[in-house]
Amino acid sequence: MGRTQRIVVIGAGPRGLSTVERLAAHAASRSDKNVEVHLVDPFPPGPGHVWRTDQSRLFLMNTPSFFPTVVPTDVTVTSAPSDGSYPRPISAVRGLSFEEWRARVTADSSFPLIGLSDGDLAEVHALTREGFPSRKLYGTYLSDIFARLRAGLPKTMSLNYHPQEAVRIAYGEQNTGRPYLVELGDGVVLSAHCVVLALGHTDAKLRDDQQDLMEFAASRRLHYWPPAIPADVRWAALPEGEDVLIRGMGLNFHDVLAQLTEGRGGTFEVDGDHPHRLTYQPSGREPKIWAGSRRGTPYRAKAVLDSYYPRSTQNKFFTRDYVDRTQQRAQSEGREIDFEVDYWPLIRRDAQWNYYRTLVRTEPDAIHGDPFEFLAQVEAILSDTEHSSWWSRLDRLVTDRVAPNLILAPERLSRPFEGQSFDSHEEYAAAVVHFLDRDVAASFLGEDSPIKMAIGSMNQARAIVKYAVQDHGISDESWIRGLERKFGGLVEGLASGPPVLRIQQMAALARAGVVRFLGPDPVFGADENAGCFIASSPWVRGEPVHADWLVEALAPANDVRVSTSPLLGRLFEDGFARPWQMHLADSPAPVPSKGLEVTESPHRLVRASGETEAGIFVLGLQLSSTQWGTAIAAEADAELRFGSSTVADSNEVARAVLG
């Protein structure tokens, strides 16, 4: 037996758990080395911070039961190289995606239940394959996987959990063979051969405008609640019956609404006259909620489907094969890939193609003239990639043949009230409720909704984009200008939305007068004369709203430059790390990015000096300099590099660590 390899994994959430699982899988396939793993996190191992099991069951995931996994499935393993570099999971957790776990808890009486409460069991039995679990239940799954993994470790591996925060990494005595020392919050110091950073979400400094609001609140005894993980917030402290300003209408906003309505005893019921519409019966304990965001509307609801990507869509233009050819051509030409030039036009073509294919299939009478001849013309225009005028040619065709309200303009999907003015908050609320009702109806149409299929097309493109841009696959300039500002901002509001239930509930709350809307592009500030917060929209002529309470419905920024993590701060101070430096045309010097600078996979940390730190690896959110969409979980039954990058990265780290 060889020497013992000691590995410290910092972060016990899903990515840390994936790392432990991959280490166990590799350790089980070899007998020449003992593996000693130390898992460090103040939050419970498995759930970590975000998914911990003591949170409200009202907080829902925004992916259905069949989507997520923390354990590689058979499809993932078989899509990997057959050289043994990607071993199957150990038997204790083999095959246990979340959906398989749910199905076995429900139907397999011999399946041991580890740590499930009566409430967990009730939710599991009520949940369907297409249903959206609570984050609490997903945390229970992660906790269960950790327990099974720990109990089934190979004999050559041990696992130790430290419920502490790691605060510093330093060099140890080189002659010990363990070059790193990891200091914990209680003063314990762990020596290690290698360290894996799987930090997940960290707290962050406030923006200047947020800091100003915080200071104003403190000076006037007001209440400003900064960005936070929803499970960390004491929602009961918000007052009943008073005006409360909420900034942000993304996914966290639905968590806020759930706590302030159902969480206070309000109830939703199905409207008997409209089966897809809900009504809300207030408890009388709700605040008066005033919501605002740049879009002026929430993210669009997910379509009701039996698969994550629509089965009927056909992405013909932006494909893996196209990406591979483009990368090879760019390399031979010695140029960088520009997202806006090389990728974005094809993503738009696919969205248009899938929209009009679905429109012709479901509403052929909406097309003037022969719908199939029209579709053939659409295909011919989109397939003519030699001419840059395709957009204007398509615009002329659809203007002549399609009713104006049925023409697809993707950029307007996320800002439906662009350029419109409203005379009052009541008029704007009526417009928003109508928008929400139409979005709900489209979601329930599923594969038969042209709009949802266009969005589904862009969602499929998102997975290929992740593959295409990894490891600086596009220029820094186009990462910011094209990927983040154009595609990222658009697809997030369209494809990353909540389950349709949340939009049904929001419409019901608006009808009941519990939720009011400020309007697009709202301005939040401090009214020095009135001594309170003030908010208004330039597009709504109603009186500005005053309130003593302002809540940021946002998570802390995923940005290493502003993170308040003691560990990250000291990694920078001690020269172990630096942000990736982006080279932008309008900047005379490199600009630090949101993510750490790392090598290609396995992602080793790059020191301030530019040297590689051979034994410190990075996984997850802090890889946003070299990966896009780092918050998205691994997809069950996805190919290794297309939907399962989380477990792919964990596997590469495990291989590198064990040698």
Domain ranges in the chain are 4-202+614-658, 208-298+499-552, 320-424+441-495
What is residue 178's predicted lDDT score, i.e. its pLDDT?
82
Nearest to 285 by CA among 307, 262, 308: 262
Name residues whose C-beta falls within 8 Å of residue 70's C-beta, 6 or more positions apart in sequence: 14, 17, 18, 21, 98, 141, 142, 145, 633, 634, 647
Q: Find where tokens 């409203």 sit.
A: 422
d(CA 651, CA 653): 5
What is residue 207's predicted lDDT score, i.e. its pLDDT?
95
- Please say if the pLDDT value at position 471 is more than 60: yes
* Residue 1 confidence class, pLDDT cut points 50, 70, 90: very low
Global confidence as pTM = 0.95
For residue 206, give the DSSP letter: P
Nearest to 9 by CA among 28, 594, 22, 68: 22
Give yes or no for a cis peptide into 588 (omega within 30° of 0).
no
Q: What is the mean pLDDT of residues 545-570?
A: 96
Within 489-647, strands assigned E span: 515-517, 523-527, 532-536, 545-547, 549-552, 579-582, 591-596, 604-606, 612-618, 634-635
Give yes or no for a cis peptide into 602 (omega within 30° of 0).
yes
- Please say if the pLDDT value at position 642 is more than 90: no
CATH, domain range 208-298+499-552 = 3.50.50.60
Q: What is the mean pLDDT of residues 304-312?
A: 94
- Please say if the pLDDT value at position 639 is more than 90: no
* Residue 67 confidence class, pLDDT cut points 50, 70, 90: very high
Q: What is the mean pLDDT of residues 617-625?
A: 94
Nearest to 257 by CA among 56, 50, 51: 56
- Please say if the pLDDT value at position 388 is more than 80: no
d(CA 647, CA 18): 6
Q: Is there a common fold for 4-202+614-658 and 208-298+499-552? A: yes
* Residue 2 confidence class, pLDDT cut points 50, 70, 90: low
- Please say if the pLDDT value at position 478 is more than 80: yes
What is residue 237's predicted lDDT score, i.e. its pLDDT?
97
d(CA 243, CA 479): 40
What is residue 255's predicted lDDT score, i.e. its pLDDT?
97
Q: What is the mean pLDDT of residues 17-46?
A: 94
d(CA 150, CA 36): 12
Average pLDDT of the chain to the nearest whole number: 94
- The encoded tokens of residue 267 equal 């109830």
Tell me the CA distances in angstroms from 482 to 44, 338, 442, 485, one per residue in order: 39, 8, 28, 6
- Please say if the pLDDT value at position 501 is more than 60: yes
* Residue 248 confidence class, pLDDT cut points 50, 70, 90: very high
Which of 475-484, 547-556, 637-646: highest mean pLDDT? 547-556
pLDDT in tens, 253-288: 999 999 999 999 999 999 988 989 999 999 999 999
- Please say if the pLDDT value at position 558 is more than 60: yes
- Please state whether 466 falls in left (phi above 0), alpha (psi between -120 and 50) or beta: alpha
* Residue 649 confidence class, pLDDT cut points 50, 70, 90: very high
Q: What is the mean pLDDT of residues 364-372?
A: 95
Burial of 450: CB neighbours in 10 Å, binned 0-12, 13-18, 19+? buried
The more confidently predicted of residues 146 and 80 is 146
d(CA 59, CA 252): 9
- The encoded tokens of residue 197 equal 């950073």
- Please state whether 446 falls in left (phi above 0), alpha (psi between -120 and 50) or beta: left
Q: What is the mean pLDDT of residues 201-214?
A: 96
- Count other C-beta atoms under 10 Å from residue 506's C-beta: 30
What is residue 77's predicted lDDT score, i.e. its pLDDT?
83
Identify the H or E element spanning 511: helix 500-511
The more confidently predicted of residues 497 and 174 is 497
- The encoded tokens of residue 18 equal 């994936």
pLDDT in tens, 128-143: 999 999 999 999 999 9
CATH, domain range 4-202+614-658 = 3.50.50.60
- Please say if the pLDDT value at position 252 is more than 90: yes
For residue 60, give the DSSP letter: B
pLDDT in tens, 157-187: 999 999 999 999 999 877 667 899 999 999 9
